Amino acid sequence: MAQVALIVYDKNNPYTPAIQIKQRLEGNGHAVTYIDWDEPAWDYSPYDLIYLSYEVAMGAPMPYNVNKPVGLMAYMLYDEFKLGSNWVVYSVWENIYIEDNAHYITKPYSLGFLDVAATPKSFIPVTGFANDVKSLAKIDSPPINSVIAICETGQQLYDGTIAAARRAAYGIYITNDINADGWNLFDRQIVWLLGEEPRPYPVARLKKGFVSGHHCFMSNYITAKVKDYTPLKLPDGTIF
């Protein structure tokens, strides 16, 4: 379970996307706290994730390069968080175009169009991204319009600054008509931001003579996939 700070315009009267996001996160086992976008000097240290809802405006008094993963539906802050220099609004689409399915967020889907809503709705893609900011999905328009864009910790944001933690923009306006795939992409975005995506099993190379205390003369090395492991230092100094 993660502690999530959900930034909203008015925590006493949250917009529909904020309500939907909170319900979804809580349904997935996370603890969510509403925080007003203009609350000065709020303490972000207790939170594992900061997520900004659709309605949060420019000028929010918060450290934009905060050392916490940040998810953005707040399109007016794409620039502040350096995922892109601008945004545009499209409101006549039901689908997005998956352009990269090698990433964890979009991995379940084939390249091409994917319906994410039951009815035509608003998409607010990020534009003007560069450097290591990567687009995973766009709308059916020039490829500069990304509805799912990400940047990994330590990589360059669009202006050349270094991301202090993972960043993701989700430009699908969440309302009741989001379908299962739209929500699945949202959920996978959260998993990725928190660093909880499944990793490939590590490969351990074991030197002969130190396999569970028994000698092994079959080969110089045994290669094994290990599901759950703790690094172990062998007598000769080898760590696996």
Residue that wins the pLDDT comparison between 237 and 12: 12
Q: Model confidence at 25, in pLDDT bands (50, 70, 90)? A: very high
> With 80 as the cut, is the pLDDT of residue 152 above it?
yes
Give pairs for 54-60: CB < 8 Å, separation 24+: 54/15, 54/17, 54/18, 54/124, 54/173, 54/174, 55/8, 55/9, 55/15, 55/17, 55/18, 56/7, 56/8, 56/9, 57/9, 60/7
Q: Model confidence at 74, in pLDDT bands (50, 70, 90)? A: confident
- Mean pLDDT of the 145-151 span: 91
The reported pLDDT for the residue numbered 226 is 43
- pLDDT tens per residue, range 55-67: 886 666 666 778 9
Residue that wins the pLDDT comparison between 23 and 232: 23
> With 90 as the cut, is the pLDDT of residue 71 above it?
yes
The reported pLDDT for the residue numbered 231 is 52
The reported pLDDT for the residue numbered 83 is 84
Domain with CATH 3.40.50.880 in the chain: 3-193
- pLDDT tens per residue, range 91-115: 666 789 999 999 999 999 999 999 9
Residue that wins the pLDDT comparison between 91 and 213: 91
- pLDDT tens per residue, range 168-191: 999 887 777 889 999 999 999 999
The reported pLDDT for the residue numbered 122 is 72
The reported pLDDT for the residue numbered 90 is 66
The reported pLDDT for the residue numbered 223 is 42
E-only strand ranges, 57-170: 70-72, 86-87, 90-93, 95-98, 112-115, 121-123, 126-127, 134-138, 146-151, 167-170
The reported pLDDT for the residue numbered 115 is 92
> With 50 as the cut, is the pLDDT of residue 208 above it?
no
Task: Give the range with max mean pLDDT: 11-20, 99-108, 113-122, 206-215.
Answer: 99-108
| Fold of the CATH domain 3-193 | Rossmann fold (3.40.50)
> With 80 as the cut, is the pLDDT of residue 145 above it?
yes
* Whole-number Cα distances in Å, 82 to 128, 155, 237: 10, 12, 44
